[in-house]
């Protein structure tokens, strides 16, 4: 007896990949891929049973319903906080991920997770405390955007890979998710509106560079002015020290007037002195960068301290003195990093449901 065909997953494919699958599997043309894409991405109907009233092809329709998986996972918790909407998705194996919808002036930014937990073990990070469970699949990453758009009705323009996990530790799935999200016939998020944030996996940065996607935005969580401090708070620095990281950043392809975003979590009495700013400026000199200063958000059982408002402002003034383009990220309110930098922080409780 013939083996049943292996299933294939809708949310892992671009339009041309779906077209190719339909051709190879069933000898069908782009007409059907167009119908499926329109129904799911334009009409927001992930239940393709209906459009598959391809009355001329009942057999094909049956085959497709049997083989094509259109998996979306349920949102089980929603929490509104300072204008942000955080939602928790329950995955098929019972694990949970968080995503954040951040309102901007004219549109929404979505912060997506790429892993359940994280291996990197940064000492200041809440996600790290939970350890690492697994990588998210392409459909689980893309599903977060679909849910934000069609479940919450958010007009998402930007997608930032700044939720739970280290995106470059799940390189293949993240890159394919960017392709699928960017498909013009689908959700149409162009790469200039996508930012990938990394703790500095140089191998991943180099692979990303080799794609030659100059429009894609790269953010690096540097968080320290020298190796001594960085290794103390980010174990990855022992494998990829700052000099090597800078070489990889120098080689990263960039659009005209583009810059690499440097994230700097400011921790009281650790990386907040004038001399640190001088070291940071020296380190960043060969690069085109924009620095985001994020006041450390305390988490449970942490020995680190949050800097006072005036010390944050002073730190920023020092960076300006060094002629570094800098922005302060607020710890509260409608700020992307306030929303997605510390996912996994509060267990979401029932009384916060909307």
For the CB of residue 96, give the shortest distance to ligand SF4 in the complex, in Å.
16
Report the residue closest to ligand SAH, judged by CB.
Answer: 341
Query: From the list ligand SF4, ligand SAH, none, which binds 162 (C-beta under 5 to 8 Å, kind-based)?
Result: ligand SAH
Enzyme catalytic residues: 340
* Angstrom distance (rounded) from CA 192 to CA 215: 5
Positions touching ligand SAH (CB under 6 A) are 124-125, 162, 166, 197-199, 221, 223, 263, 265, 294, 296-297, 299, 337, 341-342
- The residue (of 165 and 186) whose beta carbon lies closer to ligand SAH is 165
For the CB of residue 215, give the shortest distance to ligand SF4 in the complex, in Å.
23
Is there binding between residue 224 and ligand SF4 (CB under 6 A)?
A: no
- The residue (of 19 and 195) whose beta carbon lies closer to ligand SAH is 195
Looking up tokens 């980010």 gives: 234
For the CB of residue 298, give the shortest distance to ligand SF4 in the complex, in Å.
15
SS3 217: strand
DSSP letter for each residue of 63-84: HHHHHEE---PPEEEEEEETTE
For the CB of residue 198, give the shortest distance to ligand SAH in the complex, in Å.
5
- The residue (of 87 and 296) whose beta carbon lies closer to ligand SAH is 296
Q: Which two tokens stand for residue 191?
A: 């790469």
Q: Return the C-alpha torsion angle 275, 281, 283, 288, nearest 10.
A: 160
Cα distances (angstroms) measured from residue 193 to each of 63, 91, 142, 242, 258: 37, 27, 15, 27, 12
Is there binding between residue 199 and ligand SF4 (CB under 6 A)?
A: yes
Query: From the list ligand SF4, ligand SAH, none, which binds 158 (C-beta under 5 to 8 Å, kind-based)?
Result: none
Interface with ligand SF4 (CB under 6 A), residue from 33, 110, 128, 267:
128
Question: Alpha helices of the chain — where are they, by DSSP H?
Answer: 15-26, 30-37, 58-67, 126-129, 138-146, 171-182, 202-210, 227-233, 242-250, 274-284, 309-321, 336-340
Is there binding between residue 196 and ligand SF4 (CB under 6 A)?
A: no
- The residue (of 180 and 337) whose beta carbon lies closer to ligand SAH is 337
* Angstrom distance (rounded) from CA 167 to CA 113: 8
Buried b or exposed e, range 95-115, using 16+ CB within 10 angstroms? ebbbbbbbeeeeebbbbbbbb
* Angstrom distance (rounded) from CA 255 to CA 194: 13
- The residue (of 197 and 237) whose beta carbon lies closer to ligand SAH is 197
For the CB of residue 72, give the shortest distance to ligand SAH in the complex, in Å.
24
Question: Alpha helices of 150-192 — where are they, by DSSP H?
Answer: 171-182
Over the window 146 to 165, marking each residue x when it contacts ligand SF4 by CB under 6 A and - when it does not, the resulting string is: -------------------x
- The residue (of 72 and 236) whose beta carbon lies closer to ligand SAH is 236
Is there binding between residue 122 and ligand SF4 (CB under 6 A)?
A: yes
R_g (Cα) of the chain, nearest Å: 22
- Binding site residues, ligand SF4, CB under 6 A: 118, 120-122, 125, 127-128, 165-166, 199, 221
């Amino acid at each position: 007896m013939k083996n049943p065909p292996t299933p294939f997953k809708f949310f892992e494919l671009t339009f041309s990949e779906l077209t190719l699958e339909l051709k190879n599997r069933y000898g069908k043309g782009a007409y059907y891929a167009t119908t499926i894409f329109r129904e799911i991405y334009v009409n927001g109907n992930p239940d393709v049973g209906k459009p598959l009233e391809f009355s001329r092809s009942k057999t094909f329709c049956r085959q497709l319903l049997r083989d094509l998986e259109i998996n979306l996972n349920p949102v089980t918790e929603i929490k509104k906080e300072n204008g942000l909407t955080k939602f928790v998705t329950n995955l098929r194996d019972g694990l949970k991920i968080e995503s954040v919808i951040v309102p901007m002036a004219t549109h929404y930014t979505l912060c997506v997770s790429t892993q359940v937990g994280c291996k990197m073990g940064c000492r200041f990070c809440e996600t790290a405390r939970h350890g690492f469970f697994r990588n998210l699949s392409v459909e689980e990453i893309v599903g977060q955007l679909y849910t934000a758009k069609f479940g919450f009705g958010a007009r998402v323009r930007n997608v930032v890979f700044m939720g739970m996990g280290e995106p470059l530790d799940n390189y293949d799935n993240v890159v394919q998710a960017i392709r699928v999200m960017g498909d013009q016939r689908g959700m149409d998020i162009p790469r200039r509106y996508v930012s990938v944030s990394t703790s500095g996996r140089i191998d991943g940065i180099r692979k990303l560079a080799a794609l030659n996607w100059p429009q894609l935005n790269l953010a690096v969580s540097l968080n320290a002015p020298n190796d001594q401090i960085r290794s103390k708070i980010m174990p990855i620095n022992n494998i990829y020290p700052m000099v090597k990281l800078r070489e990889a950043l120098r080689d990263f392809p960039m659009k005209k007037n583009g810059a690499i975003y440097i994230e700097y979590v400011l921790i009281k009495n650790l990386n907040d002195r004038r001399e640190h700013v001088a070291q940071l400026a020296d380190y960043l000199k060969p690069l085109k960068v924009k620095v985001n200063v994020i006041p450390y958000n305390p988490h449970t059982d942490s020995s680190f301290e949050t800097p006072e408002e005036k010390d944050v402002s002073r730190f920023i003034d020092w960076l300006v003195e060094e002629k570094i383009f800098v922005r302060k990220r607020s710890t509260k309110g409608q700020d992307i990093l306030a929303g997605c930098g510390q996912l996994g922080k509060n267990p979401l409780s029932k009384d916060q449901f909307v």
